[in-house]
């Protein structure tokens, strides 16, 4: 089995030029007067920033300046004793951890418009669940951040969830810490990220710029010394309704390291169609990517049964796929057999076992697409535990929570539902073998003649429709996504949107469970913010692994 480049590295290479431009324009620590920029040259005291020689944090401020995390104003002053705003703190946290701005996502807070210098940073932190608003739809970016607020955001970023408070806080002012911040303050002090002074934490005091520099220098220094995580993620993008040339362009814009073109299908006569395009394999290998073509059954239960139930026919199919893998130098195969009969459960597992044994001699991967375990006829044909034992990966299609033609309108994949799907499968499937399939599409729902109907939409189209029809738009915290309603010709429509924020949260939540990677249905239907949000989630996971 071949190894994968970390998705964060792939996306980072892809965005290198864009990020470089962003560093030049936005990697600026902002004072209360607005965006500021560094000046060249050194002051008389040897520091580039003119007013830090008397600060106890002079060395830390200077080091962060050299790292591009802070800067001075247009006159070269840092103002070390000035308080830090909520926006400034988030921006510095992002830069310290290597989290990129998310400039093209749906605006999370009304008081942080796209024109704000901090927009991309606050959007990125929101997509990772690191920050909350101060009221409904507001972030209060210019408000000074308190020490207990800073501790809470810091712990959200560096710990998997807010840890429970341990023991008694040995701080003289522990009783002054707000109940919502107590666990975070305790953890931040325990880890040495934040400290008190003469036994006091001063939870409600404003955090100063020099205090912030000390805090982030500790974290930045520790991160620089970390070892790169050895874990490498699968990032598979399915091809759909695109030519080879179009698919290649879609891959170039994405963080995908594994291509899955739709080349092979089980035909009614029991044969396998062959639509291999060798030029795509060559391009993928030339660009350090793998190819796992999809082998589907066209939802044909009858033909699937005829093949699976006959051991000779099954073995012939295995030989055919093995020949394709050998002839075209494929790295794996992605099995997408859906709508099969529950009576074929054992035969399907045996087919996967035989296929994996045949492809093992070529070092090729066998991945199997499976639905969530709904306890219905749809999931009954899949013996999840046995399939995980027989294949290299199971790809759970964690979408269609509410499906076209279903009885109820709703999200394609809400965060809580997706989390439940993953947790359920992890009872039978090792995390190292579970790939989470995420939706790059949504649906708009409406009623016509008393019947519920829906239209599939790619992500840019969904956002465009909401804007065109001036739909209401709100973030549903319980679902982890935006919801909108609007009217077309007097008919009410509803859509549960997917974007960088919703998919970033799904990625982060899945990574907390140490899954093997992600698959995307389907490539080319995403919005421009998706890959940055996903890469940020991976970057955050790597930072958390260090601490």
What confidence tens digit (pLDDT) does each residue in 297-345 have? 999 999 999 999 999 999 999 999 999 999 999 999 999 999 999 999 9
**Which range among 134-148, 188-202, 408-422, 498-512 shows the weakest confidence by mean pLDDT?**
188-202
Q: Which helix (H) or strand (E) covers residue 511, if one does?
A: helix 500-511
Domain assignment present for residue 346? The answer is yes
The 3-state secondary structure of 359-424, one letter per residue: HHCCCCEEEEEECCCCCCCCCCCCCHHHHHHHCCEEEEECCCCCCCCCCCCCCCCCHHHHHHHHHH
Residue 91: C-alpha distances to residues 70, 97, 264 (Å): 10, 10, 47
In this prediction, residue 169 carries a pLDDT of 75
In this structure, of 7-21, 252-266, 497-511, the range with the lowest mean pLDDT score is 7-21
pLDDT band at 546 (very low <50, low <70, confident <90, very high): confident
Selection from 126, 111, 71 nearest residue 532 by Cα: 126
Whether residue 311 is contained in a domain is answered as yes
In the sheet where 451-458 sits, what is the strand order?
451-458, 441-448, 491-496, 481-488, 472-476
Alpha-carbon span 245 to 422, nearest angstrom:
34
Token output for 516: 């093997």
Contacts of 462 (CB under 8 A, 6+ apart): 442, 444, 495, 497, 498
Provide mean pLDDT across the span 174-187. 92
Q: What is the pLDDT of residue 7?
A: 40
If you average pLDDT over every residue of the chain, what do you get? Answer: 90
Q: Whole-angstrom Cα distance, residue 27 to residue 96?
A: 11
DSSP string, 337-351: --S--GGGHHHHHHH
pLDDT at 2 over 50: no
Domain count, the chain: 1
**Could you tell me the maximum CA-CA distance found in the chain, to the nearest angstrom?**
86
The region of weakest confidence among 81-85, 130-134, 509-513 is 130-134
Answer whether residue 308 is part of any domain.
yes
Question: Residues 99-119: what's their mean pLDDT?
Answer: 95
pLDDT of 225 reads 82
CA 365 to chain centre: 24
Instruction: Say what percent of the chain tops pLDDT 90.
Output: 82
pLDDT band at 161 (very low <50, low <70, confident <90, very high): low
CA distance 274 to 333: 13
Look at residue 5 and tell me whether its pLDDT is greater than 50.
Answer: no
269 found inside a domain: yes
State which residues form the domain around 374: 264-273+294-392
Classify residue 315: in a domain, yes or no.
yes
Give me the sheet containing 234-238, strands edge to edge: 262-265, 294-296, 332-336, 365-370, 393-397, 434-439, 517-521, 234-238, 258-260, 290-291
Q: Kindly report whether the peptide bond that precedes residue 161 is cis, defined as omega within 30 degrees of 0.
A: no
Q: What is the pLDDT of residue 228?
A: 54
Whether residue 298 is contained in a domain is answered as yes
Residue 404 included in any domain: no
**Is the C-alpha dihedral spanning 408, 415, 128, 192 positive or negative?**
positive
Residue 142 lies in a domain: no
pTM equals: 0.90
Q: Locate 8 and state its tokens.
A: 């964060």
Domain containing residue 344: CATH number: 3.20.20.80
Q: What is the pLDDT of residues 226-249, one digit of tens each?
A: 755 546 899 999 999 999 999 999
């Amino acid at each position: 089995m071949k190894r994968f480049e970390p998705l964060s590295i792939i996306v980072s290479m892809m965005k290198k030029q864009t990020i470089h431009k962003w560093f030049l324009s936005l990697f600026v620590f902002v004072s209360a007067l607005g965006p500021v920029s560094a000046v060249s040259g050194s002051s008389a005291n040897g520091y580039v920033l003119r007013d830090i020689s008397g600060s106890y944090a002079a060395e830390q401020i200077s080091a962060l300046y050299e790292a591009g995390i802070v800067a001075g104003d247009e006159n070269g002053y840092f103002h070390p004793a000035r308080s830090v705003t909520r926006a400034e703190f988030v921006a510095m946290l992002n830069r310290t951890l290597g989290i990129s701005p998310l400039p093209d996502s749906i605006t999370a807070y009304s008081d942080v418009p796209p024109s704000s210098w901090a927009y991309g940073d606050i959007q990125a932190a929101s997509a990772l669940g690191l920050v909350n608003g101060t009221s409904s739809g507001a972030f209060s970016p210019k408000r000074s951040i308190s020490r207990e607020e800073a501790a809470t955001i810091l712990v959200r970023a560096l710990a998997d969830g807010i840890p429970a408070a341990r023991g008694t806080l040995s701080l003289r002012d522990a009783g002054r810490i707000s109940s919502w911040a107590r666990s975070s303050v305790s953890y931040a002090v325990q880890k040495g990220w934040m400290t008190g002074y003469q036994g006091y934490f001063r939870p409600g005091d404003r955090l100063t710029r020099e205090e912030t520099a000390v805090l982030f220098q500790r974290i930045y220094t520790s991160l620089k010394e970390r070892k790169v995580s050895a874990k490498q993620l699968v990032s598979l993008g399915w091809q759909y309704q695109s030519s080879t040339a179009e698919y290649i362009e879609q891959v170039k814009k994405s963080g995908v390291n594994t291509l899955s073109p739709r080349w092979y299908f089980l035909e009614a006569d029991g044969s396998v169609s062959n639509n291999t395009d060798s030029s795509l394999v060559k391009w993928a290998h030339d660009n350090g990517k793998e190819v796992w073509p999809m082998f589907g059954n066209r939802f044909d239960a009858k033909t699937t049964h005829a093949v699976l139930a006959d051991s000779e026919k099954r073995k012939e199919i295995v030989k055919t796929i093995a020949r394709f893998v050998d002839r075209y130098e494929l790295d794996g195969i992605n099995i997408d057999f859906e709508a099969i009969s529950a009576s074929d459960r054992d035969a399907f597992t045996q087919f996967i076992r035989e296929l994996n044994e045949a492809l093992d001699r070529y070092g090729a991967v066998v991945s199997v697409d499976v639905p969530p375990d709904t306890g219905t006829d749809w999931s009954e044909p899949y013996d999840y535990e046995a399939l995980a034992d027989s294949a290299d990966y199971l790809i759970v299609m964690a979408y269609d929570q509410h499906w076209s033609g279903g009885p109820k309108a709703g999200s394609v994949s809400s965060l809580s539902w997706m989390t439940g799907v993953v947790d359920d499968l992890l009872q039978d499937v090792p995390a190292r073998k579970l790939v989470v399939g995420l939706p790059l599409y949504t649906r708009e729902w409406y009623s016509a003649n008393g019947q519920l109907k829906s239209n599939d939409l790619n992500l840019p189209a969904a956002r465009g429709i909401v804007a065109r029809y001036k739909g209401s738009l709100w973030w549903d915290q319980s679902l982890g996504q935006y919801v909108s309603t609007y009217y077309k010709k007097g008919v009410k429509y509803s859509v549960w949107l997917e974007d960088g924020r919703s998919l970033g949260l799904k990625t982060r939540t899945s990574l907390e469970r140490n899954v093997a990677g992600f698959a995307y249905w389907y490539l080319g239907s995403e919005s421009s913010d998706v890959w940055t949000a996903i890469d940020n989630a991976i970057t955050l996971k790597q930072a958390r692994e260090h601490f």
